[in-house]
Structure 1
Amino acid sequence: MITYRCFSHLLKLTIMIHLDFNFYRPFRTVLLLSFFVGAVSKTDAQPVLSLTPVISTGLNQPMQFVNAGDGSNRIFIPQKGGTIRVYDATFNYLSDFLTVAPIDANGERGLLSMAFHPNYSTNGLFYVYYTTTAGDLELARYQVSSGNTNVADPASKVVLITIPHPTNTNHNGGELHFGSDGYLYLSTGDGGGGGDVPNNAQSTTVLLGKMLRFNVNTSATAPYYTIPPGNPYSNEIYDLGLRNPYRWSFDRLTGDMWIGDVGQDSWEEFNFRASAATANVNYGWRCYEGNATYNTTGCAPASSYVFPAYTYASQNPSASVTGGVVYRGTAWPLLQGWYIGADFYSGIFYKILPDGLGGWNVSTQTIAPTGIVDFGETENGEAYAVSLTGNSVFNIGSSTVLPLSLISFTATAERNGTELNWKTAREENLIQFDIEYSMDGNAFRYLNTVMAKNSVTGSKYSFNHNIAYSGSIFYRLKMKDKDGSFSYSGTVQVKMDNAAAGIITPNFITDGMLHLDFKGVNNYHTLELLSMDGKVIMKESIAGATNNIDFDISNLSAGLYLTRLSGAGSSHVQKIFVQ
């Protein structure tokens, strides 16, 4: 999808099509046409996830699933209260590896993460991240004991850094991973509360709301790390603009970074950072939540930020994203290359795969249990999920169905609106197509439902959207299966040029007044002013008006808005920009 966050983007808007669901700015133009856009998108076989319990007793608020990478195939399970349990390759409990103390384990606090040094098999070093009794965030290093590889030496503890976390108890982050560059990465939350009032996430000196990077290989004395070359601000900060990146991971094959960033009130994020990206990526918080503006005071142009690969609404029961892993094991070939994440509260799992065109295929599946707090990998790349509330660990497996092969989806501008056509080559277990549309490529709204013919040889479909509009409209199909899962088609975009658009002029408003000019003809009875996410800001009756009407909108913040004129059996939507 393409989202335009400023009027300069709007002015550059042409006829475009992109098969992405959500992606980075600046956008990439795939096809330029006049009044017709076409897309061909094939939905591959969707893996159906299965969860098999491998540890269901003995755990108390497990937080993470970690392997040591030392060839032993052991699994380490940090628990919120501070104790780390160690299991053999078949999940037999071996011993308590270490109890990290003292810590505060109330609320969102506790032992949050651990990571083993890439040379753990020879140096025995590992790192833990936790909240102190003062509520601060601390990164410490330990070493395994010399006499027992299943027990760490508590006396070996050294503290690398303590990050002040004043006032609030939430949004601590965070997870530790070593990158292919040998450096240690740590995600931190923005300091909590609501709305990041201090704007920590955008600060280049505060270590909250960041992805931090440490060189832990160069110093044997305090602070036991140095700042890696390439960190953009000559401190620990590597990337910025995160709210609460509680769980994240590296793709072990490509080195790409995936971050699950917990949203404020509206949007949960899966962020993607290609391994080739340089430092100083800004993920946008608090300027943006998901793809929507949140608080842009003092913010840079939208092109300065990297927007999520995929977002979903924070609506009951979904409320908190848990970042996952890209499956690179061998036991489940159909899962190969799929990124798997989840929502902590709803039990909805998100499966994301590159579509080969610069975007993503996304499907969902609801699985018990809820409370998924982490996704981890064994040494050979098999994926596991940890349930905090269920005190359990699950192996992630897969089967597959072939619900749909979508071979084309097009949108054509017609006299009275848009004609949508799509064609399938195969349908199985399919219920319906929900048509969704958007004026900005970001906030999609339900339009109508077309029931599936469910033909194994494929079918053709069409739908007419009667709308008077001048500008670009985005469409996508939400394809629903009988098992309750769904996936999205690619997004198509069409430019409309309707004479009714001249009613509201100009669409670039500099005087704080919304001007309507009916030129003697008025087929509408209501004017609505909406935010770009569809919230009604103003509603006025215009029935009977045939000449000019002005409305005072000087109280609005600068930005993009939608106007909607409604009449008997017709509507006209137009985008405006308020300076």
Structure 2
Amino acid sequence: MPVLRRTLNGFVAFASVLAMSSFVGSQPATAVALPSGFQEQIVFSGLSSPVDLEFAPDGRVLVAEKGGRIKIFDDLADTTPTVFADLSVNVHNQWDRGLLGMALAPDFPADPYVYVLYTYDAPPGETAPVWNDVCSNANNGRCVVTGRLSRLRASGNTAGSEQVLLHDWCQQFPSHSIGDLAFGADGMLYVAAGDGASFSAVDYGQLPAGAPTNPCADPPSEGGALRAQDIRTPADETQLDGTLLRLDPATGAAAAGNPNIGSADPNTRRIVANGLRNPYRITMRPGTNETWISDTGWTTWEEVNRVVDPTAGVTNFGWPCWEGNGRQPGYDSANLPICENLYTAPAGTHTQPFVAWNHASKLVAGEACPTGSSSSTGVAFYPTAGGPYPDAYNGAIFFADYSRRCIWASLPSTPGGLPSAANLQTFVSDAAGPVDLEVGPGGELYYADLGGTIRRVRYFPGNQPPSAVIDASPTQGPAPLTVTFNGAGSTDPDPADEGRLRYAWDFTNDGVTDSTSPTATFTYNAVGSYTARLTVTDTLNATHTSTVSITPGNEAPTAVIDTPTVSTTWKVGDTIAFSGHATDPQQGDLPASRLDWDLVMHHCSAPDNCHEHAIRSWTGVASGSFEAPDHEFPSYLELRLVATDQEGLRHVVTRRLDPETVDLTFNTVPSGLQLTVGSSSGTTPFSRTVIQGSTNSVSAPSPQGSSAFASWSDGGAQTHVITAPTAATTYTATYTAVPAPQRIGYTQVGTSLDTGEMNHMNGSRFVTGSDPATVTSMSVYMKAVQPAPNNQYQLAIYADANGSPGARLATSTSGTLTANSWNTRPITATLAAGTPYWLMYNTNGDNNMSFDAGTANQGAWSASTPFGTWPATFGGSSRWNAKFSIYATTGADTAAPAVTSTTPAGGASGVALNAPITVRFSEGMAAGSITPANLELRGPGGTLVNRTVAYDAANQAATITPSAALAASTQYTVTVRTGVTDSAGNALAADHQFSFTTIDPSAPRFGYDEVGGSLDSGDMNYMNGSRFVNGSTALTVSQISVYLKAVQAAPANQYQVAVYTDVNGSPGTLVASSTSGTLTANSWNSRPVAATLAPNTAYWLMYNTNGDNNMSYDAGSANQGAWSQPRPFGTWPSSFGTSTRWTAKYSIYAS
């Protein structure tokens, strides 16, 4: 179905002889159930996948076909349309993509423009045709296309050149493509389009796993279905997927009065609604700008949505975070920041649907419409007055479900009023496959049937006409041909006419009645093509006529599918070859040019409840092949072969191809928790049957009660994608118990007041309980607080070292103090059971803690510590008998971890070809989540680099080691995925990405680029470096690199580098210095520095650090090394001043 998740039931599978289609006006439709007095009629037939129809004021009717052609009929009686426009070269017509939207200018034809919306057959920046409607597997995320809005200037029944108004809408997957067009009462053009995301798995931009990586250039964790929420992330360029636009129809720019018309982003200016999955059809409430949207859902809900006032503000319908009447389980379980923020947003931030129906429920109690497969595919308003239908329909909205083959009416509570979601009526059941609803100029409902017809629902307030039905056998064969005709199946809905119909047969369409009996025979002696006509008349002389084609002297061919055989099964990605032939009684073996093939996916909610996706077609070939697509189960493929002889008689044969499936079992430890697979959640243990090789997203929601996610048995992230194996497999998510919150420390308000705390570290020693604990916050009680800005504070936790504060374990960010109150800051640390720790406090003003007497040496303080500079080790302290009012609170850790630094830093250049890549985190991480899949390294073109990944728990750092040396002078990109989790199962809030460029080995270096054998000590707050002489050519450098062997723990692992001139053999004037970076031990560490070094000139390359981090060096020439007395870290003097020089050549160079 065009742009639908569950697509449109094109043609019913069959093997029979078919006559050529023709355009026949006002034919009855059989087996359709309607309210009393209504009849359905076929107005046009013989169309190729019609998806949109529009009525011109001058009586003409335009029909858009999915493949890209627009046909124009002079009126409703016209049986020979003209091709108004053929856009098929530009249109990508595969799966649910195609030409899907069309609208006429409000004053058409005086304003002679026809507006079209279609899937453009090319990725962003390329020119169609690229794919030519043939992607080998369009559902693998690599068949990337775009969307295009254009207008065509009509000249009579022919279109002029195409004027492109808007080209956007990057789409990776073959459904949820562009949608529909409509004009409001304000004369503005309204445009809807889908999210372009996967319908197989939770898609937030991580698909596909291989190249092309991120073809739509989405920011991390903002792609896929989350494009529908992109307007809420203004830091990046806004995308149009999953939105409703309001445009100036002459230019495609945002219309005046739009809610964000003042935005600097042109797409933000265009959007009036977002949070839509697949807004396949839209309509306007008559005389207003209210926009009503038929939004096709995923596997549980369908919606009709209402935008009350497009200019009042952007309306957010919530997808993919919300669907139907609640949260979407798949996206909720993935803990995506965009959704989590929407869940906690104020009431009214997201708008509920006007009406939503669950796939398992009926809309009207007792109706004939089935449940199961569902897809919202059409909306149209009935006039508020003056139409031919009963007054109860005045102002009603009709809406359709293609998969259920039904149309409903939402009737106003009072005629002409607003439709009521509580006042629903089944209007058409067993419809022919509605994909567009329109109310025609006579006030009657029409719909486009994807199977090839345009249909009308007509109301007869009194006598209803009969329905003529012909059964003729045989309809072809050698001449002379004797045919038996039977019209006894003709009916009349009026009981008074039962058994009283009159019959008139015209077997040769010459206007002469040949028989008046319900049944008759006729012999055709001459070869040719004849139309037999039956007219039935009721007692009030209402008539109806039906026809059938008879072809004496010709018989249809016989088509045969040779391969694949009936026993063929498939897995996702399998290549399936097909071949066939056909013979004809008159023409013998038909050539390949007479053979056409169609491949269709049947998607089922039950064995007897399926709908179709038209995957692709082949014209005029006897053989070929295709790649088995990725799809949900239950589903199966159907291959159709159509053989057509020279006279147009056809024979169709089909071959059903069932997939190879596998049962996947999902469990948790402990059992009974919730897991999410695809779009739905279940209580473990449970099983899902899927197609082998299919893509399935899985999520382990956390926390659940007292349980927090720890790991998956397959080593995957908390949310990840499983490619279904060939053997039954169990996937188990292990959860750990979340300890009950407890407080460690002194929770009483002390009676004493400590003074003189500014720039001191103060705190007390406490012992944990019998269980390990995860600290989530710390609190301190303050009695006296200074006014701003001298009212800031921080908290920290230190290990105990023989009764004194030892190594720092964690620090908080700064907060603002409140007097006579407990003051709390978030902090994360894992504390061992039965172990002493020090809880410490630091402030930038004379803000005084409360305390009581404690045990001997329980209190400690350290003097002269600048606010916010917590040392890695506490150092010398004074201890005393004090128990400060300070405590730590433990409990479930729900804070997202973060990447704090990387080596190399983002944007670094000159990185060594064999240098390890280090990513440091804000807290301890789950080692099982530090995997190559979650730490990607990609080179040019998004090519994935083979690598190993290791986790250093002591330093909270992951190291990526390429399997081979990287290429020189090449940019690489590291992506840390949200699959990385902390020890409590919390994922990164968003993917973290940084790039660096490797060194050019041939580029000149200035300095000493070898790793020295000696280790310099005492570097903290000193300036250290060496003197080197530049060569005969001026050298422009962009960075300085220094080799470190020993590095302290954070935060005492920072460094800076600088260049100084030389003055008589000593460092002189500062030339340039770097910003701070984070050091990695046993590695070259580089920081950007921009400087130009003169030829034949000496310079000093200098290093400074905030911890005892020691450079390597070798012996150098006399006075080549220099160091200066302690300087505060990061304060490079403009002139070096007095220095001590010695014989040393530090491992430091500029490049």
> Same fold by TM-score, threshold 0.5 exceeded?
yes
Q: Distance in 1 between matches of 2:53 and 2:37?
A: 18
Q: Deviations over 1:49-80 (max 9, x none)?
A: 84522334231110111123xx3121110001
Q: In structure 1, what is the equivalent of residue 243 of structure 2?
A: 210
> Which amino acid is the alignment partner of residue 177 of structure 2?
N
Q: Distance in 1 between matches of 2:404 and 2:704?
A: 43
How has the CA–CA distance of structure 1 residues 51 and 259 changed in structure 2, closer, same or farther, with 3 Å as cutoff?
farther
Q: Indicate yes or no: 2:159 matched with 1:152.
A: yes
Aligned residue among 367, 387, 399 for 1:330? 387
SS of corresponding position for 1:187: strand
Residues 73 and 378 in structure 1, CA contact (< 8 A), matched pair in contact too:
no
Q: In structure 2, what is the equivalent of residue 126 of structure 1?
A: 114
> Which amino acid is the alignment partner of residue 705 of structure 2?
I
Q: In structure 1, what is the equivalent of residue 1114 of structure 2?
A: none
Q: Indicate yes or no: 2:277 matched with 1:289.
A: no
Q: Structure 2 length normalisation: TM-score?
A: 0.30
Q: Distance in 1 between matches of 2:324 and 2:318?
A: 8
Q: In structure 1, what is the equivalent of residue 444 of structure 2?
A: 382
Aligned residue among 277, 289, 301 for 2:346? 301
Q: How does 1:134-533 map to 2 (within 5 A)?
A: 134=122, 135-145=145-155, 149-153=156-160, 156-194=161-199, 195-197=202-204, 198=223, 199-204=226-231, 205-217=238-250, 224-233=251-260, 234=263, 235-275=269-309, 278-294=312-328, 295=332, 296-299=339-342, 300-315=345-360, 317-328=372-383, 330-334=387-391, 335-355=393-413, 359-360=420-421, 361-365=423-427, 367-389=429-451, 391-398=452-459
Q: Distance in 2 between matches of 1:49 and 1:276?
A: 38
State the 1:214 CA deviation: 1.0
CA RMSD of aligned residues (A): 3.2
State the 1:237 CA deviation: 1.2
Q: Distance in 1 between matches of 2:58 and 2:460?
A: 29
How has the CA–CA distance of structure 1 residues 196 and 256 changed in structure 2, closer, same or farther, with 3 Å as cutoff?
farther
State the 1:112 CA deviation: 0.7
Q: Deviations over 1:340-361 (max 9, x none)?
A: 1111111122221233698531
Q: Distance in 1 between matches of 2:431 and 2:409?
A: 17
Q: In structure 2, what is the equivalent of residue 553 of structure 1?
A: 705
Residues 45 and 454 in structure 2, CA contact (< 8 A), matched pair in contact too:
no
State the 1:125 CA deviation: 1.5
> Which amino acid is the alignment partner of residue 90 of structure 1?
L
Q: Deviations over 1:262-296 (max 9, x none)?
A: 11121000112335872311111112101110133
Residues 53 and 395 in structure 1, CA contact (< 8 A), matched pair in contact too:
yes
Q: Deviations over 1:530-574 (max 9, x none)?
A: 99x9987489xxxxxxxxxxx9823489xxxxxxxxxxxxxxxxx
Residues 359 and 374 in structure 2, CA contact (< 8 A), matched pair in contact too:
yes
Q: Distance in 2 between matches of 1:534 and 1:317?
A: 15
Q: In structure 2, what is the equivalent of residue 110 of structure 1?
A: 98
How has the CA–CA distance of structure 1 residues 398 and 257 changed in structure 2, closer, same or farther, with 3 Å as cutoff?
farther
Q: In structure 2, what is the equivalent of residue 98 of structure 1?
A: 85
How has the CA–CA distance of structure 1 residues 529 and 243 changed in structure 2, closer, same or farther, with 3 Å as cutoff?
closer
How has the CA–CA distance of structure 1 residues 302 and 537 changed in structure 2, closer, same or farther, with 3 Å as cutoff?
farther
How has the CA–CA distance of structure 1 residues 264 and 227 changed in structure 2, closer, same or farther, with 3 Å as cutoff?
same
> Which amino acid is the alignment partner of residue 388 of structure 2?
A
Runs of at least 5 residues in structure 1 that lack an aligned partner in the other structure: 1-45, 218-223, 401-526, 540-550, 558-578
Q: In structure 2, what is the equivalent of residue 456 of structure 1?
A: none
SS of corresponding position for 2:315: coil
Q: Distance in 1 between matches of 2:255 and 2:297?
A: 30
SS of corresponding position for 2:431: coil
Q: Distance in 2 between matches of 1:319 and 1:552?
A: 32
Q: In structure 2, what is the equivalent of residue 84 of structure 1?
A: 70
Q: Distance in 1 between matches of 2:287 and 2:257?
A: 23
Q: How does 1:529-540 map to 2 (within 5 A)?
A: 537=683
Runs of at least 5 residues in structure 2 that lack an aligned partner in the other structure: 1-33, 123-144, 205-222, 232-237, 264-268, 333-338, 361-370, 462-671, 686-702, 710-893, 895-1151
Aligned residue among 53, 57, 61 for 2:45? 57
State the 1:133 CA deviation: 1.2
SS of corresponding position for 1:304: coil
Aligned length in residues: 361
How has the CA–CA distance of structure 1 residues 150 and 342 changed in structure 2, closer, same or farther, with 3 Å as cutoff?
same
SS of corresponding position for 1:278: coil
How has the CA–CA distance of structure 1 residues 119 and 349 changed in structure 2, closer, same or farther, with 3 Å as cutoff?
closer
State the 1:206 CA deviation: 1.0
Q: Deviations over 1:179-223 (max 9, x none)?
A: 111111110101121345221111111100000111124xxxxxx
Q: Distance in 2 between matches of 1:228 and 1:173?
A: 20
Residues 143 and 152 in structure 1, CA contact (< 8 A), matched pair in contact too:
yes
SS of corresponding position for 1:351: strand
Q: Distance in 2 between matches of 1:354 and 1:530?
A: 42
SS of corresponding position for 1:297: helix
Residues 259 and 311 in structure 2, CA contact (< 8 A), matched pair in contact too:
no
> Which amino acid is the alignment partner of residue 297 of structure 1?
E
> Which amino acid is the alignment partner of residue 243 of structure 1?
R
> Which amino acid is the alignment partner of residue 390 of structure 2?
P
> Which amino acid is the alignment partner of residue 247 of structure 2?
F
> Which amino acid is the alignment partner of residue 190 of structure 2?
Y
SS of corresponding position for 1:86: strand
Residues 386 and 394 in structure 1, CA contact (< 8 A), matched pair in contact too:
yes
> Which amino acid is the alignment partner of residue 246 of structure 1?
Y
Identity of counterpart residues, as a percentage? 30
State the 1:132 CA deviation: 1.2
How has the CA–CA distance of structure 1 residues 143 and 292 changed in structure 2, closer, same or farther, with 3 Å as cutoff?
same
> Which amino acid is the alignment partner of residue 387 of structure 2?
T
Residues 186 and 289 in structure 2, CA contact (< 8 A), matched pair in contact too:
no
How has the CA–CA distance of structure 1 residues 162 and 530 changed in structure 2, closer, same or farther, with 3 Å as cutoff?
closer
Q: Distance in 1 between matches of 2:310 and 2:171?
A: 35
Q: Distance in 1 between matches of 2:150 and 2:674?
A: 53
State the 1:83 CA deviation: 1.1
Residues 169 and 239 in structure 2, CA contact (< 8 A), matched pair in contact too:
no
State the 1:392 CA deviation: 1.0
Q: Distance in 2 between matches of 1:159 and 1:369?
A: 36
> Which amino acid is the alignment partner of residue 150 of structure 1?
N
How has the CA–CA distance of structure 1 residues 554 and 105 changed in structure 2, closer, same or farther, with 3 Å as cutoff?
same
Residues 174 and 189 in structure 1, CA contact (< 8 A), matched pair in contact too:
yes
Q: Distance in 1 between matches of 2:351 and 2:435?
A: 25
Task: Report the structure number with the largest CA radius of gyration.
Answer: 2
State the 1:90 CA deviation: 2.5
Residues 258 and 323 in structure 1, CA contact (< 8 A), matched pair in contact too:
no
Residues 66 and 377 in structure 1, CA contact (< 8 A), matched pair in contact too:
no
